[in-house]
Every structure is written in structure tokens, then in C-alpha cells.
Amino acid sequence: MADRENLYGRTRSELERAVGELGLPAYRGRQLYRWIYPRAVTDFDSMTDLPRAVRAELAKHYSVRPPPVAGRHRSQDGTVKFLFGLEDDNKVEAVYIPDHPEDTSSKRAVRHTVCLSTQVGCPLKCTFCYSGTVPFARNLTVGEILGQFGVVTRALLTTTTRVNVVFMGMGEPLLNSEAVLSALAVLTDPDGFAVSPRRITVSTAGLAEELERFAEAAPPVGLAVSLHATTNDARDRMMPINRKYPLEELLAAARRLPVPRRRRITFEYVLLGGENDSETDARRLARLLIGIPAKVNLIAYNPWPGSPHRASTDEATERFLGILTRAGYTASLRRSRGDDILAACGQLAAARHL
């Protein structure tokens, strides 16, 4: 089975090409595409609008293999972490986060978020992030990225149209731009997973050059920049990538992003007690973002075994939030979710807790 080429992860045009090589017309590729992604069918024999001979021909050359689930953990708050076992034995995680987990009586539609990984481990080594302690192994393939989404939504939801997708799992999406762009094409395609680009956010540690290129090439998804510090000194210490792309360069790139995107760039800021959570930091942050249509997402620090930082106090957090709000920014505090199963931001480290 594994010797047959895997079609999971192929884009629509790649599937059209694949069936073309078998002498089949392009529309057979489109049919295949709709079976593989929105309908999550992996067995050619169940693809009932394909003639029997076509199914047999496909099965001779190909198989459809989304990444298999190797483990599933449910948090008290309804968050579910999926562990995937990849074909080369690497492991990666994705997280499902329901928005109103306790309130099943509500008539309001429950909002869902799926958090996807883009790499096995991460080469960036931010000091506060557990994923950074996992040795970087490789980029995920398009199929491994899409498969996290396909498998998680298939297991837990009836439709994918009202799901939010955040590229905030393990890894740095902009170090794997090509695969992320292909995954976005299938995610947002009405014949694919049909997720609106407005519901998708790609988060970066701040690769300024890649960010500009990515914004040009991607559908109009939300962009988030992990800022976390207001001076180069502090940021150099927390995020080694800052030595390559210092604050002024990163913010200049953010200012240059194409106009529709500039309406709303999210700046993430993880509050580390006594390190980056002073009033001075809050004021400096407000000043740094002048001229950028920004919203600020403060993140409560999620500790992990042996982590070298501590969370901010509630007072420091409120004070920080207040300064930003009074400066005219939309700022919110992201609650920690799934931290009892190490599924919260910065806690994914598949290889570490097997």
C-alpha cells in the first residue's frame, strides 16, 4: 500500500494532471478531489460516480492516505489534541478547540477552531515555546497539513464551513510557505474544504521577507505576528529569529503589506511575568504599532515542564491590557485552553510525551 503514490495532499490541478497521466479526462480529477477532501473518502471503490474501470485503474497506481491518528486526548474544557503518526515515524499534533464547550443548551452555533502544525519540531527555538525544545526534523507535506484538518473535522464535526483555522501549532508556517500555500488553496476552495479565508489565520514568529512574499501569494487570510517584546535586546533573548529580522525591519514589512491585509494585522504578545509585562513595555508596544492597523492579542503564558518563564499576574495583565486599550488599540486576552493536556499555545511537542 505504502509503495503506491499517495494522492492525499494533491491540489485540484495536481489531481487533474495525475488522472491525465492515466489517459483520463480532467473532470475525473475534479471528482476525485471532491471525494478526497470534503467527503473524506479514501477508498476508490466508494467513489460511486467514477466508472468501475477508472476506480480499478486508480487503485493500481495510487492510494489515498491522510496521516493516521496515533493518539487522542480530551481536555476538561473540551479541547481535543490529536497526535498523528507520520509515514516516516515522525509525530505531529493538531488541536481542536470548541468555543462554548460547556454550553450545550445554547441555540447559538458553537464556534470551532482547529489549530494546525506545519513542521515536525521547530528550528526557531523561542525560549518560551515547548515546540522549540523538539529537535527540528522536517517540514510537513501538503497532505500532512491538510490531513490534520481533514481528520480532526471528520472525527468531530458534521461540516467544515464554520470552522476557524489557525496555523499556530508546531513549527513556523513561513519556513514551509510552499506547502502552506497549497494547503490554503485546498482549504479555501469551494470544491475543497470550503473554509472562508476570513476564518483562517497564519501566525509567524516574524520572518519579515517571507511575510511579504507570502501575503502576495496567499488568499486573503488573516496574518498574525508573534511580537512578544518591545526592544531588540529583549526580543533577541526570547526569539533568536530577531537577530535576523529585528523589530524595525519586521514592523516595516508589516507596514508594507498589501492594503486589504493592513486593515487587521494581529500582533501576538505572550505575557511573561517580570520580563515583558511592565507599563513601560505596554506604552512602548503602543508606540511601536503606530501607523499599523493592528489588533493586539495578549496571550497568557502557558508553562510546560522545565520552562524558564512564569506567567504574568492578573494585575500586570489587566494593566497591560488597559494601557493598550486606552491608546486606542483593539486588544484582547487569549485564555488558555487545553493546558491540562499540554494542548495550549506553545505546549505542543509531540515527540516529548509519548
Q: Which residues are catalytic?
A: 93, 345
Q: Are 143 and 116 in contact (CB under 8 A)?
A: no
Q: How far is the CB of 101 from ligand SAH (least distance, A)?
A: 20
Q: Is 201 an interacting residue with respect to ligand SAH (CB under 6 A)? A: no
Q: Are 65 and 3 in contact (CB under 8 A)?
A: no
Q: Is 177 an interacting residue with respect to ligand SAH (CB under 6 A)? A: no
What gap in Å lies between CA 236 and CA 206, rounded to an integer?
Answer: 12
Q: Which is nearer to ligand SAH, 65 or 309 (CB)?
A: 309
Q: Is 268 an interacting residue with respect to ligand SAH (CB under 6 A)? A: yes
Q: What angle do CA 229, 232, 233 make, to 5 degrees?
A: 95
Q: Is 176 an interacting residue with respect to ligand SAH (CB under 6 A)? A: no
Q: Which is nearer to ligand SAH, 51 or 305 (CB)?
A: 305
* Residue of 262, 263, 254 lying closest to 212 (CA atoms): 254
Contact residue for ligand SAH among 163, 200, 205, 208 (CB under 6 A):
205
Contact residue for ligand SAH among 47, 270, 298, 323 (CB under 6 A):
270
Q: How many residues bind ligand SAH (CB under 6 A)?
A: 15
What gap in Å lies between CA 9 and CA 180, rounded to an integer?
Answer: 11
Q: What angle do CA 300, 265, 147 make, to 5 degrees?
A: 75
Non-local (6+) Cβ contacts of 195 within 8 A are 160, 161, 163, 165, 187, 188
Contact residue for ligand SAH among 31, 79, 302, 317 (CB under 6 A):
302
Q: How far is the CB of 6 from ligand SAH (least distance, A)?
A: 26
Q: Is 57 an interacting residue with respect to ligand SAH (CB under 6 A)? A: no
Q: Which is nearer to ligand SAH, 24 or 250 (CB)?
A: 250
Burial of 306 (C-beta count, 10 Å sphere; 0-12/13-18/19+): exposed
The stretch among 45-53, 55-63, 253-261, 296-304 that binds ligand SAH (CB under 6 A) is 296-304
Contact residue for ligand SAH among 44, 96, 128, 149 (CB under 6 A):
128
Q: For residues 310-349, which are near ligand SAH according to CB under 6 A?
A: 345-346
The stretch among 47-55, 176-184, 193-201, 295-303 that binds ligand SAH (CB under 6 A) is 295-303
Q: How far is the CB of 204 from ligand SAH (least distance, A)?
A: 5
What gap in Å lies between CA 26 and CA 33, rounded to an integer?
Answer: 11
Kindly state the helix (H) or strand (E) to which residue 35 belongs, with its residue range: helix 26-36
Contact residue for ligand SAH among 64, 221, 299, 341 (CB under 6 A):
299
* Residue of 262, 229, 261 lying closest to 246 (CA atoms): 229
Contact residue for ligand SAH among 168, 186, 288, 341 (CB under 6 A):
168
Contact residue for ligand SAH among 16, 57, 77, 172 (CB under 6 A):
172
The stretch among 34-42, 75-83, 199-207, 257-265 that binds ligand SAH (CB under 6 A) is 199-207
Tracing cell 467513489 back to the chain, one arrives at 47
* Residue of 123, 79, 127, 115 lying closest to 100 (CA atoms): 79
Provide DSSP, 97-157: EESSSS--S--SPPPEEEE---EES-SS--TT-GGGGSPP-EEPPHHHHHHHHHHHHHHH-
Q: Which is nearer to ligand SAH, 19 or 241 (CB)?
A: 241
Q: How far is the CB of 99 from ligand SAH (least distance, A)?
A: 18
Contact residue for ligand SAH among 204, 230, 276, 312 (CB under 6 A):
204
Q: Is 129 an interacting residue with respect to ligand SAH (CB under 6 A)? A: yes
Residue 185: count of CB within 10 angstroms of its CB: 17
Q: Are 84 and 151 in contact (CB under 8 A)?
A: yes
Q: Are 121 and 171 in contact (CB under 8 A)?
A: yes
Strand partners, 204: 225
Q: Which residues of the chain form contacts with ligand SAH (CB under 6 A)?
A: 128-129, 168, 172, 203-205, 226, 268, 270, 299, 301-302, 345-346
